Amino acid sequence: MNIDRTVQTQILKALMEYFPFEIPPHELAKLEQKLGAQAVLANSAYLSQHGLVKTSVRAKHLTELQLLAKGVDLLLGDGGLSAILGTVTFKLHGDTIKDLAEMKIQEPNPESLDKPRFADKP
């Protein structure tokens, strides 16, 4: 498999120089020569499937490559317009949720008699 974070970063940075336009064909050829045509194709497809770039492939060759807004946001590392507009996404692991629930259960609250039963469940 040719999926490589270093290659992806180099692709995104190369595309950033031409945003909001496509990378010119001669620059795409240079990128393919530097990183390997198959590596650029595979990693560009991966980035495209995540909505970071726009690609066009003909006869197993990359013919168009363009950075999208999500790709810019990733490179800038500031969360982009989603952060500015107040949309924040975060993930909590199951253990974290359980720990938070147990902390809440252990708080003094004489009204609840079911606390020990919930905290003892796996």
Domain boundaries, the chain: 5-74, 91-120
CATH number of 5-74: 1.10.10.10
pLDDT tens string 35-45? 999 999 999 99
- Residue 76 — φ and ψ, nearest 5°? -75, -25
**pTM of the predicted model, to two decimals?**
0.66
Map tokens 């982009």 to a residue. Answer: 80
Measure the CA–CA gap between 77 and 44, rounded to whole angstroms.
20
pLDDT tens string 10-27? 999 999 999 999 999 999
